[in-house]
Amino acid sequence: MRIGVLTGGGDAPGINACLKTIVTQCDEYGFEVFGIKRGWEGLLSLNPDVPDERSLHIVPLTRHLVRKIDRTGGTFLHSSRVNPGNLSRKEVPLFLQCALKRMGRGLINAAHFDATFHVLRVLEHLGLDTLIVIGGDDTISYAWHLQQQGVAVVAIPKTMDNDVFGTDYCIGFGTAVTRSVQYIHQLRTSSGSHERITIVELFGRHTGEACLVSSYLAGVDRTLIPEAPFDPERLADLLIFDKAANTSNYAMVAVSEGARMVGGKFIEYCRHHIDDHVLQRDGIGQLIRDTMTMLTGEEIIWQPLGYLMRSGIPDALDIMVGCNFAQLAVELIRKNVSGVMVALSKGVYDHVPLAVVASGTHQVDIAELYDPEEYRPKMRCVLGKPMFFY
């Protein structure tokens, strides 16, 4: 059995623990494992007609090679956000562009070029029996596309936002929350010292789960998530109240990067208080800071955490889930099961068809977990709920 493994999308703590377990478990069964560097880009950039370049994109994975990688964050195999089924002209390797030109095909629709035919050729050239794909929605959606082309694929969900549909937990989420809580508490020092309102911007473009759970655990005053548009005037009033009610005279608000104002208010404040290019560059946190400054008359601290949420060593939860997801993936391959994603469902390890991942979106249950009037987590009853609430 020859197994290929790749990591796509953003890096996340826990991936290396997952990779190490894949290799050690496969070694137990006598399977060979080959790491594909830089995600789907590795398969796209490999030219089967130039054997000397293979080592640039493929690395045999052994126990010795992966012995220490679980002690660090990130991904040992590197990553990319390339999707071979949806490429721009600049993402198509030069050798492939030349080959297409010789074939008389060219890049007719450069904005949506599909190089799956080349990826299939490379997989056949490598002689891989199964592909393990570690990634988020975009990475796994292309894995499902390959499965439909006859490639045996097992996927492992990984994303800081925890937004892959079909699983309650993705590798990286625990560390993202742990880091966020730590930095929120550290920022209280400056907020209290200078008696200011502080806006902490967190990852979460399409779902506010990371922001919601971090806010719940860190006890911030207000929380803004994509699933519930907020009114800036209402937020300003609440923050003034929170600041006055705090004996140290400060307030904290956590914001998902995908948070949004109610429609008309967004247009009003975006046009009058911040221009479009700044919003595109700096995002919602910048807009909220400028808006709150105008509405409250207060000095505002704005701190985007960004990559700090995903940098460094994983917490114990991400190591555990990464290892267990890997073990389950290899066990499924051993049983000739493919076309699935390993998952956690209500605290139990499981697997779901890859088709399920593309069938819905993972979002916060507003009715159960959030108060859209007070802009706060609302976890009033946990009896009978799974560990991650979802």
Task: Dig out the tokens for 175 from the structure.
Answer: 């560390």
Q: How many CB atoms lie within 10 A of CB 35?
A: 23
Q: How many CB atoms lie within 10 A of CB 179?
A: 23
Amino acid letter for position 136: G
Q: How big is the CA angle at 316 (ends 311 and 318), to the nearest 5 degrees?
A: 60
- Tell me, yes or no, if 161 is annotated catalytic: yes
Q: What is the rounded distance in angstroms from the CA atom of residue 333 to the CA atom of residue 212? A: 36
Q: How many CB atoms lie within 10 A of CB 45?
A: 22
**Catalytic choice (11, 70, 137, 161):** 161
Q: What is the rounded distance in angstroms from the CA atom of residue 289 to the CA atom of residue 56? A: 45
Helix (H) or strand (E) holding 89: none
Burial track 348-359 (b if 16+ CB lie within 10 A, e otherwise): eeebbebebbee
Region of residue 65 (phi > 0: left; psi between -120 and 50: alpha; otherwise: beta): alpha
Q: Return the closest-CA partner of residue 84 out of 138, 3, 12, 158.
A: 138
Q: What is the rounded distance in angstroms from the CA atom of residue 17 to the CA atom of residue 28? A: 17
Q: What is the rounded distance in angstroms from the CA atom of residue 156 to the CA atom of residue 171? A: 8
Q: Return the closest-CA partner of residue 11 out of 19, 23, 1.
A: 19
Q: What is the rounded distance in angstroms from the CA atom of residue 295 to the CA atom of residue 56? A: 55
Q: Return the closest-CA partner of residue 223 out of 249, 253, 195, 198.
A: 253
Task: Dig out the tokens for 235 from the structure.
Answer: 């937020």
> Annotated active-site positions, please?
161
